Chain A
Amino acid sequence: NAGVMQNPRHLVRRRGQEARLRCSPMKGHSHVYWYRQLPEEGLKFMVYLQKENIIDESGMPKERFSAEFPKEGPSILRIQQVVRGDSAAYFCASAAMTENTGELFFGEGSRLTVL
């Protein structure tokens, strides 16, 4: 049973380009969370999605960031017109249960570097 798969593991973009990060949850999981880890900091919640629905996006920057979790395919975190401050590790986690008891399974993260 494969774990949470994130790709790419490393992504380099120039300022102004777009970054797309993908997350395939564990089999049978329909809840996906995205967290961001800035250098030398802890993880910060960004968004929580269920299939085709954004449940909580209170941690998402108001501009340039968007997330989706379509009926088919992986969840995607999109960052438009990236800036240097977007350089970070982006972690995806998935869960199977509606009530969040913290049984989250994290992916290995996608590390974005903006030049």
Chain B
Amino acid sequence: AQKVTQAQTEISVVEKEDVTLDCVYETRDTTYYLFWYKQPPSGELVFLIRRNSFDEQNEISGRYSWNFQKSTSSFNFTITASQVVDSAVYFCALLPRGAQKLVFGQGTRLTINP
């Protein structure tokens, strides 16, 4: 069975703090993709990153970074020097290769306070 767990339902930090959103996944497939999406208050889904299961290199994009560890089945997302505009619900998702369905976690609501 495929499953994505985002244990943190809500996180609230003060602006400029660093924050890490956790994502743990379950799959029996050896090849799969992992994703992070951002859903701001306006409601749309914004694609942030896609990671292939064969590529365990960490990725950095500006203030965003992702730590993929196959050994612990985790794909955590860190925002450095958070800003109020980062306030949103963040979803982690899994797509086994050859499958057609993205499996989403429950989401983490991140609030950045000024």
Identify the A interface with B (CB < 8 A): 33, 35, 41-45, 48, 55-56, 58-59, 89, 91, 99-109, 111
Bound-state CA distance A35–B44 (Å) is 13
Select which of B4, B44, B98, B105 is within 8 A of A99 by beta carbon.
Answer: B98
Select which of A102, A106, A111 is within 8 A of B45 by beta carbon.
Answer: A106
Interface bracket on B: 20 to 34
Bound-state CA distance A89–B100 (Å) is 20
Cβ contact within 8 Å between B99 and A100? yes
Identify the B interface with A (CB < 8 A): 4, 33, 35, 37, 43-45, 47, 50, 91, 93, 95, 97-107
Given A102-B33, A102-B95, residue A56 in contact with residue B44 (CB < 8 A): no
Chain B residues with Cβ below 8 Å from A106 are 37, 44-45, 47
Cβ contact within 8 Å between A41 and B43? no
Cβ contact within 8 Å between B106 and A41? yes
